[in-house]
Amino acid sequence: MTSTTTPVPAVTRPARSAPRPPSPVPALAHLVIWGGAAAVLALWWSDTSSVVGAADWLTGAGRITGLLAGYACAVLLILMARVPLLDRAVGTDRLARWHAMGGRYTVSLACAHVLLIIWGYALESHTGVVDQTTTLVLHYPDLLKGTIGFLLFLVTACVSARAVRRRVSYETWHFLHFATYLAVFLVFGHQLSDGADFVGDRPAQLAWYTLYIGAAALLAWYRFAVPVRRALRHRLYVTGVRPEAPGVVSVYLSGDRLTELCAEPGQFFRWRFLTHGLWWAANPYSLSAVPHPAYLRITVKASGGHSAALARLEPGTRVLAEGPYGGFTARRRRARKTLLLGGGVGITPLRTLFETLPGEVTLVYRARRPEDLALRAELDGVAAARGAVVHYVVDEPAVHSSPLTAEGLRGLVPDLTERDVYLCGPPGMTEAARRALRDAGVPRRRVHHESFAF
């Protein structure tokens, strides 16, 4: 454990502000996405004179699913390009759920495209499915590369499946997910070389190039150029590490022009510590103290090799930080009263919101044992300074326990249905909390959650 003199965050006074109306950006994003899908279908419709016979019906369905799968690939890349407007207005966690759902649709469409095209071409040429597959893969332009890209999509889909995802580390999953970039690159050429809707149609080709080049530009700028530029400008480094609870440490960081990062309470960065064994992975950790002109702080629980190694960081270790990311901020507040519901190390973003959210705020912090309540002294200080309420709920001893049910939450917060709820914690706890809040009558739009586990 490395430790130096680390500052104790001072309690700031919450700013007074009225609750904000819902952002129109999520609805507009949906409208744009579905509008693009309609345009893709219009492309097929305008290029199809008639559909006669089983072979035409199958190949027509194959063309439609192929076009939609190609369009969905570009949409998926844009959703995870970390565009600030989408990230803050929609929320990183919500974008990740859209991306995951869209990924399932994309893989399903791609599978349907492959099967329908092979079947339709086999009927049309009066050959077997195996022979037709061999002909397509080996003799059509760019289709061998397209096949490799399709197989990479299937591998990524298998790794991302919930049952498999739980069994691989974040770092492994993250790097395997980069295979989708290669898959999209391999499949793109096949779309233009073999797609009946693009061959000989220059406007359609230009539209497709524009879509994909735009997606690539957003990725290159926001996921690569901006982080490198910020790293050179802010020159972040570790100033100290302090234990907070069993297996939990706070890492303090400093650098140049920290206010220009424009980080907000509740947001997170992806941190890359440039030291042996850690430099190759960028993991998401939330700020656990209100951003300060002189320092930033994250608080991390040892739940794997990467997070456990942070306790051994040496002062002076250089850091690359991508962000800030996430919409888990005061911008989501709709009511004048707020409940912060946290579990375990999920307290980290709630710690900053507890200090800064305006209005009446109650914090419910759940942990297994009293000694697992990280940052408790700070939370008590914030509660005393702003006249807020904090409830500590632990499983052991049972006298301090409270079930995570609608009745249990109402017992702690009687006016629960009048509040916005900010929720952060381990997956099992957050799922139980969602059910309890739903059973208690809290509207879904009032429950704000980001898992940061993507």
Q: Does residue 269 carry a pLDDT above 90?
A: yes
Taking only the tens place, the pLDDT of each residue in 57-102 is 999 999 999 999 999 999 999 988 888 888 888 877 788 888 888 9
Give the C-alpha separation, 331 to 380, whole Å: 25
Handedness of CA 244, 247, 248, 252 (dihedral sign): positive
Q: Does 258 score more than 90 pLDDT? A: yes
Q: Are 412 and 364 in contact (CB under 8 A)?
A: yes
* Model pLDDT, residue 178: 76
| Complete DSSP assignment for 210-248 | HHHHHHHHHHHIIIIIHHHHHHHHH-EEEEEEEEEETTE
Is 20 in contact with 443 (CB distance < 8 Å)? no
Exposed, middle or buried by CB within 10 Å (0-12, 13-18, 19+), for 18?
exposed
Domain match, 187 and 268 both: no
Give the integer Cα–Cα distance in Å for 388 and 383. 5
pLDDT > 60? residue 227? yes
**Statement to judge: residues 57 and 94 lie in one domain:** yes
Note the pLDDT of residue 1.
Answer: 47
Let me know whether 285 and 344 are in one domain.
no
Asked, for residue 5, whether it belongs to a domain, the answer is no
Report the C-alpha gap between 138 and 260 in whole angstroms. Answer: 54
Residue 168 has pLDDT above 80, yes or no: no
Q: Are residues 251 and 203 in the same domain?
A: no
Residues 161, 86 share a domain: yes
The two structure tokens encoding residue 140: 């059509």
Residue 413 to residue 410: CA distance in whole angstroms: 5
- pLDDT on residue 12: 63
Asked, for residue 175, whether it belongs to a domain, the answer is yes
Q: What is the pLDDT of residues 24-45, one digit of tens each?
A: 888 899 999 999 999 999 998 8
Residue 453 has pLDDT above 60, yes or no: no
Using CA atoms, how far residue 356 sits from 44, 288, 319, in Å, is 52, 12, 27
pLDDT at 452 over 70: no
Residue-level pLDDT at 90: 83
Percent pLDDT > 90 in the chain is 52
Last residue of a domain, one of 325, 357, 381: 325
Any domain includes 14: no
Residues 30, 177: one domain? yes
How many C-beta atoms surround the C-beta of residue 414 within 10 A?
9
Distance CA 323, CA 264 (A): 11
Whether the upstream peptide bond of residue 203 has omega within 30° of 0, thus cis, is no
Query: Distances from the Cα of 174 to the Cαs of 161, 178, 179, in angstroms?
Result: 13, 7, 10
DSSP assignment letter at 207: H
- List phi, psi (to 5°) of 330: -65, -15
Residue type for 112, please?
A: A
**Are the C-beta atoms of 70 and 43 separated by less than 8 Å?**
no
Name the one residue in this structure whose structure tokens are 């009511």: 335
For residue range 171-202, what is the model confidence (pLDDT) as tens digits?
Answer: 677 677 778 888 889 898 888 888 888 888 88
- Of 140, 146, 145, the closest CA to residue 114 belongs to 146
Q: Tell me, what's the pLDDT at 5?
A: 52
What are the start-end ranges of the E strands in 293-431? Answer: 296-301, 318-325, 337-343, 360-367, 389-394, 419-424
Q: Does residue 184 lie within any of the structural domains?
A: yes
More confident residue, 53 or 254: 254
76 and 201 housed in the same domain: yes
Residues 171 and 57 reside in one and the same domain: yes
Residue 368 has pLDDT above 50, yes or no: yes
Residue 129 located in a structural domain: yes
Task: Indicate the range of 301-315, 319-333, 396-410 predicted with least confidence.
Answer: 396-410
Q: Over the stretch 46-68, which tens digit does the pLDDT of each residue have?
A: 888 778 889 889 999 999 999 99
What is the domain range of residue 259?
235-325
Half-sphere exposure of 284 (CA within 13 A, CB side): 18
Q: Which DSSP letter does residue 199 get? A: T
Domain containing 219 — which CATH number? 1.20.120
Per-residue confidence band for 398, with pLDDT thresholds at 50, 70 and 90: low
Q: Which of 228, 253, 278 is where one domain is finished?
A: 228
Average model confidence (pLDDT) across the chain: 87
